[in-house]
Chain A
Amino acid sequence: MPIFEVAGKQYEVDEDGFLENPEIWNQDVACDFASSEGVTELTESHWKVINYLRSYYLQFGIAPMIRKLCKETGFKLNEIYVMFPSGPAKGACKLAGLPKPTGCV
């Protein structure tokens, strides 16, 4: 099991760096993972996306579709890429402590 180490803390993650136990997530986790996804500072906008993802996940057990994410947070897709350079699936979901979205080719 790979370990992600930051600021003296250790997290169990999968090979893509997603939190292995999504239930241990808290705001500190988001801050700790930010640098690994090219996010330098978590602004209010970042939190809006993270909190939306988190609450959708807790309610439905999966990540929302991209369209829904944009609609509900009011951000355009390329604005989300400016905030989370590695994108909503890899960057934003990782910071929100969601398990890895099961994508395909």
Chain B
Amino acid sequence: MADNGKRKTKLLDQLESGPWPSFVTEIKKASESSPVCDDLLGQLELSYEEKQGHWKHGGIVGVLGYGGGVIGRYSDVGDRFPNVAHFHTIRVNQPSGWFYSSEAIRTLCDIWERHGSGLTNMHGSTGDIIFLGTKTSELEPIFKELTEAGFDLGGSGSCMRTPSCCLGPARCEWACYDTMKLCYDVTMAYQDEMHRPPFPYKFKLKAAGCPNDCVASIARADLSIIGTWKDDIRQDDAAVAEYAAQGLDIRKDVCDRCPTRCMDWDGQKLTIANRECVRCMHCINVMPKALRPGVEKGATILIGSKAPIVQGALLSSVLVPFVPAEELLETLQELIKRLWEFWDENGKNRERIGELIQRVGMAGFLDAIGLDPVPEMISAPRDNPYIFFQAETEEK
């Protein structure tokens, strides 16, 4: 023990020495009010000394009526660190776009200090508010207080995970549809699937308002919804001239960095061959006052991304190239219904839908969900010129 009665954490202390914020510093601060934090640091220091983790895998705890939302965690050195013998994590469904009043955050933190470690992670990679560390006996009281305050648990395990979205039209002029409304509507539509795990494995949905994809949906969601537009980039020539006058090198920094080289700047006039534009957002990001997404707005629906747990990482690939904003929710619901039927019928235990598509092949998958293949589904043209056409293809 150190002089202040705290555990010594020689190795962890090194993590406080760099220029960055440190979780060690934060947990030490929290230990002023919560005894859990000292044991948490103590156990982690032990793990660093022994180069070995001390959390046991896979507890099953929860609240009545729900099969998800709480992730059970136990220590295998609970005798030495009794305050973290149980250290369950609670997922709390975040508001769309992560907008809170300060009162709401205080309410959440008060509930959590009464019943848990007081440590939070705002927000986890699913988007949820994460409450880190509590005992089994506290779960029902927390759930009761949360629901009374208007909050609900998020998804975990083989649930539909809590949908999340970028803040979209609330603050961002590039949003091509109302991400927050879509996220809310989807959340409400799939309450059953969020709270009572029905699937072979997890299913995540994220909604980004434009191809900047601020929620990284293309890498982190089984179903990625990314805003886009169909017509031409809106262009304000006077504003383009203004950027040039202020010293922006439009040729070098805009045109030459366009991935499809579809822009041209002759020193006077910017020309965009919109047919060749792949909506990467680069030019718009560089000249936000001069260029804007078009007016025919909607979203692209992509499928299959995941992080490498059971198999390797995948990025989502295009499933529906363009859905007009007004039809998005309806289209999604119909699509999700077919996706889940297919996954339910064919998925192995712990197989993500992207892995299943790889296993059965895109052709078989599209057939099963009743979509026709379209060129946009291909991420890059194949360079092998030997393509064998089947008789039925030729007839068309």
Contacts and interface: CB of A to CB of B under 8 A. Distances in A.
* A and B are interacting partners: yes
A88 B67 contact: yes
A38 interface: yes
A74 interface: no
Nearest to A100: B60
Could you say which of A18, A89, A100 has the most chain B C-beta atoms within 10 Å of its C-beta? A89
Interface size for chain A: under 10, 10 to 19, 20 to 34, or 35 or more residues? 20 to 34
B72 interface: yes
Interface of B is mostly: loop
Contacts of B311: none
Contacts of B200: 65, 67
Interface stretch (A4-12, A20-28, A46-54, A79-87): A79-87
Contacts, number: 60
Interface size for chain B: under 10, 10 to 19, 20 to 34, or 35 or more residues? 20 to 34
A105 interface: yes
Nearest to B343: A67
Interface of A is mostly: loop
B60 A16 contact: yes
A90 B198 contact: no
A86 B64 CA distance: 5
Contact of B67 (A15, A16, A90): A90
Contacts of B65: 81, 85
9 contacts: A15-B59, A38-B64, A66-B158, A67-B200, A81-B67, A87-B62, A88-B67, A100-B58, A104-B58
Interface of B: 57-62, 64-67, 71-72, 74, 86, 156-158, 192, 196-200, 309, 344, 349
Interface of A: 15-16, 18, 38, 65-67, 77-78, 81, 85-90, 100-105
